[in-house]
Structure 1
Amino acid sequence: MELHVRYEGDDDPEKCTARRLARFDEVTLHDSARATPRGVVLDPHAEQALSPADAAGGEPAGEAPDPGRLVALDCSWETAEREAFRLDGPHRALPFLVAANPVNYGTPFQLNTAEAFAGALCILGRRERAEALLSHFSWGHTFLELNEEPLRRYADCADSSAVVAVQGEYLAAVEE
């Protein structure tokens, strides 16, 4: 599965996981929305959750994504909403997952680019690729450990509505 990043370059280069992944030839960086190829866009503001159905070419009611390409936006959280909508392809939100990176450790939904790709790959049934991707970070295994159960449950879902239902259970537990 191809991994592409629309790289904004407005964050700390020392902490940028997209740049590190590019150095290891795990992702391809693009400097504009126009240069970024079409694929399933990981968008925290998307109305539809990523599900295993996206790996099979999309859900019947949705726009069919390219199951061989994931696209992420690497930028500051302040830029994310404006920039993400300029990327071409069906947009999918990742469900409830907890960050393991040193900047946002333990914070739900505040994943960096490497964590977002790893979570997506696990949901799409590519766990080994997620492990390889995260092997470039000292905290990478922690992300998979913290999210072991939800990632397994999301990967077992049939479609986006099932993923949202599972996510609801985790959100209810967090609120308690």
Structure 2
Amino acid sequence: MTYLNTVIYYVDFHMDDPKKATMRKLERFSLARHIPLKAIGKKIVLTPYSEIYLNNKDSGLYSAYGLCILETSWNSINDISRIRPLNARRLPLLLPVNPVNYGRPGKLSSVEAAAAALYILGRHDEASKILEKFSWAQTFLSVNMMPLSDYERCRTQEDIKKTEDMYF
């Protein structure tokens, strides 16, 4: 059994094909834990609706409260637009390698989003560990290595935006 140093939580909105729900698969390996929406609290919540980019300064929040993924389908993403968590963060653009949205900037699967967040937070081994559970995900870090490394080094929101613009 493999464990992470900190837990990745997820809220499942049941809008995705259960066979494609990557967080459920991580839960089977004890790498993620399902929680109800009301239990988000102070966790870092990844959402494309946040105006604040995740950066390595958020690592203290991650260590204290963990990371929460909103497990939903990109086809139903507008349904979560009203959710306003305390520590909402957005990821800068990256290229997905998942079979559904391959190569479409920003349309990451939940496990890709979690891995990207872990990498930006300096948890490289944990990012690799969760991706190992998916045969198609093995190339995610290598495809995105340059932007991920640069995003991790960014100190300000402006730096992240400039870096994102440089790549995309």
Q: C-alpha distance in 2, partners of 1:35/1:67? A: 15
Match of 1:150 among 147, 151, 155: 147
Q: C-alpha distance in 1, partners of 2:114/2:81? A: 15
Root mean square deviation of aligned Cα: 1.8
What is the identity percentage for the equivalent residue pairs of Structure 1 and Structure 2? 34
Name the CA shift for 1:140/1:122 in 2 (closer, same or farther; >3 Å).
Answer: same
Match of 1:29 among 9, 31, 34: 34
Deviation, 1:29, is 1.1
Residue pair 2:95, 2:103 contacting (<8 A) in 1 also: yes
Residue pair 2:45, 2:68 contacting (<8 A) in 1 also: yes
Q: C-alpha distance in 1, partners of 2:72/2:104? A: 18
Residue pair 1:72, 1:113 contacting (<8 A) in 2 also: yes
Q: C-alpha distance in 1, partners of 2:102/2:50? A: 23
Alignment partner, residue 61 of structure 1: none
Which sections of structure 1, spanning at least 5 residues, go unmatched? 58-64, 172-176
Q: C-alpha distance in 2, partners of 1:5/1:36? A: 9
Deviation, 1:100, is 0.5
Q: Aligned to 1:111, what secondary structure does the other structure show?
A: coil
Match of 1:133 among 109, 113, 130: 130
Report the number of matched residues.
Answer: 163
Q: C-alpha distance in 2, partners of 1:66/1:86? A: 23
Deviates more, 1:65-74 or 1:97-106: 65-74
Name the CA shift for 1:36/1:108 in 2 (closer, same or farther; >3 Å).
Answer: same
2:18 maps to amino acid: P
Name the CA shift for 1:83/1:12 in 2 (closer, same or farther; >3 Å).
Answer: same
Name the CA shift for 1:15/1:112 in 2 (closer, same or farther; >3 Å).
Answer: same
Alignment partner, residue 43 of structure 1: 47
Q: Aligned to 2:135, what secondary structure does the other structure show?
A: coil
Residue pair 1:121, 1:129 contacting (<8 A) in 2 also: yes
CA deviations on 1:3-49 (whole Å, 9 max, x unpaired) are 1101011211111101101101111112x311344311101121111
Alignment partner, residue 166 of structure 1: 163
Q: TM-score, normalised by structure 2?
A: 0.89
Q: Relative to total residues, which structure has the larger helix share, 1 or 2?
A: 2
Which segments of structure 1 move beyond 6 Å, counting only runs of 4 or more? none
